[in-house]
Amino acid sequence: MGTPPVSKSKEIPLRADAQRNRDKILAAAVRMFADEGLDTHLERIAKEAGVGSATLYRNFATREALIEAVYRNEVAQLCDAVPGLLAAKPPYEALHAWTRLFLDYVTTKYGMIDALRAIAAAGDSPYGQSRDMIRAAITALMDPCVAAGAIRTDISPADLATALEGIALTSAKPEQRERAERLLDLTLDGLKISA
Tallying the residues shown for the chain, one arrives at 195
pTM for the full predicted model: 0.76
pLDDT band with cut points at 50, 70 and 90 for residue 167: confident
140: containing domain: 70-191
Predicted pLDDT at 160: 94
Shared-domain flag, residues 179 and 86:
yes
**CATH code for the domain of 40:** 1.10.10.60
Query: 190, 87, 94, 185: which is closest to 139 by C-alpha?
Result: 94
**CATH code for the domain of 168:** 1.10.357.10
Shared-domain flag, residues 37 and 92:
no
Shared-domain flag, residues 171 and 80:
yes
Across 15-52, b (16+ Cβ under 10 Å) vs e yields eeeeeebbebbbebbbebbbeeebebebeebbebbebe
Shared-domain flag, residues 108 and 165:
yes
| Phi, psi of 151, rounded to the nearest 5 degrees | -130, 160
Question: Which ranges of 63-156 would DSSP assign to H, the alpha helix?
Answer: 63-88, 91-109, 113-121, 127-147
| Phi, psi of 114, rounded to the nearest 5 degrees | -60, -40
Shared-domain flag, residues 131 and 172:
yes
Distance CA 53, CA 44 (A): 9
Asked whether residue 4 is domain-assigned, the answer is: no
Give the total number of structural domains in the chain.
2
Residue 125 has pLDDT above 70, yes or no: no
Average pLDDT, the chain: 83
Shared-domain flag, residues 93 and 164:
yes
Asked whether residue 3 is domain-assigned, the answer is: no
